[in-house]
Amino acid sequence: MTAQPDLTVNIGALKLRNPVLAASGTFGYGSEYGRFVDLADFGGIVTKTLTPEPWPGNPPPRAAETAAGMLNSIGLQNVGVEAFIRDKMPYLRTVDTALIVNVGGGPVEEFVHVTERLSDCEGIDALEINMSCPNVSGGMDFSTDPRRAAELVSTLRNITGLPLIAKLTPNVTDIGEIARSVEEAGADAISAINTLRGMAVDIRTRRPMLGAVTGGLSGPAIKPVAVAAVYRIASQVSVPVIGIGGIMSGEDAVEFLVAGATAVQVGTATFVEPRAGPSVARTLAEWCAASGVHTVRSLIGSIQIPSPEDAPCHRS
């Protein structure tokens, strides 16, 4: 019998059973999926972005299907931090998996408020800072400007002892520059990517498909963009990188790990199949076993970039 591969990875001080997490905004507050999947099959789950007050989100329609993914403009609809602590945490404390809570807001003070409230709350393993939502006014400002990105992370660093994961947007010229600034400001890890800004038009009515006109593109269409972002970030920082974007299978997860990710998050795939996350973890384990990979950690950043001398000579 083949030995089971070791799937454990470390995100800073956080030890994960396997490298597959549920992505924020695609897994509610965990309980919604409790009857479809065993949450313990995930390395961890990331909950929907929380703001200080309950937030209704953007006008409908808020989702549209595209050729290889989806557009959404949910706009951070959430129950607010107090209701989360009161109504969602009792269930989440019973779940045997790492709990990462995603924090958002408009001005810095809102991020501070949510972070302070969560830092006092038992049962949370780490915070992911949503510096990158394309669906709220000003939502991306923090991760499109390295100075503002660093200010936000260092402000939160000073008020919490929880590990901080900075979630970045791909809607920038050089994501590596933003990654360096949040690492210097004290981020323990970086997750990438959030959705890409996109738009679709109903040519019959000539109206945008989304009520908010533009939205965020996710799913298989964005995977190559996400892999490139992870590769770039991993070459620029020494903190762990969590890869997100279009992951549907164990092989997709391997691709991210080889490009430099320590863990991955599964988002849109969960809307296609609620068991997508555990299935990615299982097929990742099967791939490792079949490929003679004893520990998943040996895959991280194992990419081989051919030197120019090895490249075939093209004349055009």
Ligand X SMILES: Cc1cc2nc3c(=O)[nH]c(=O)nc-3n(C[C@H](O)[C@H](O)[C@H](O)COP(=O)(O)O)c2cc1C
Interface with ligand X by CB under 6 A: which residues? 23-26, 48-49, 70, 72, 74, 76, 102, 130, 133, 167, 194-195, 218-219, 222, 244-247, 266-268
Residue whose CB is less far from ligand X, 245 or 278: 245
Strand partners, 165: 128, 189
β-bridge pairing 215-218 and 69-72? antiparallel
Least distance (Å) between residue 148 CB and ligand X: 17
Residue whose CB is less far from ligand X, 99 or 293: 99
Give 252-258 contacts, CB < 8 A, sequence gap 24+: 252/223, 252/280, 253/19, 253/20, 253/280, 253/284, 254/284, 254/287, 254/299, 255/223, 255/227, 256/226, 256/227, 256/230, 257/19, 257/296, 257/299, 257/300, 257/302, 258/299, 258/300, 258/301, 258/302, 258/303
Note the Cα 183 to chain centre separation in Å.
Answer: 17
Residue whose CB is less far from ligand X, 19 or 267: 267
For the chain, give the number of residues.
316
Catalytic-role residue among 121, 133, 288, 313: 133
- Report the residue number whose CB is nearest to ligand X: 25
Is residue 139 within 8 A of residue 96, CB to CB? The reply is: no
Could you confirm whether 121 is annotated as catalytic?
no
Residue whose CB is less far from ligand X, 18 or 268: 268
Residue whose CB is less far from ligand X, 167 or 180: 167
Least distance (Å) between residue 194 CB and ligand X: 5
Least distance (Å) between residue 313 CB and ligand X: 37
DSSP helix/strand/coil, 286: helix
Residues 6+ apart with CB under 8 A from 163: 11, 12, 13, 14, 125, 126, 127, 188, 189
Least distance (Å) between residue 36 CB and ligand X: 17
Q: At 39, which amino acid appears?
A: L
CA dist 221 and 229 (Å) reads: 14
> What is the per-residue DSSP string for 50-76?
B-SS-B--SPSP-EEEETTEEEE----
CA dist 174 and 115 (Å) reads: 28
Least distance (Å) between residue 70 CB and ligand X: 6
Residue whose CB is less far from ligand X, 181 or 218: 218
Least distance (Å) between residue 253 CB and ligand X: 11
**What residues act catalytically?**
133
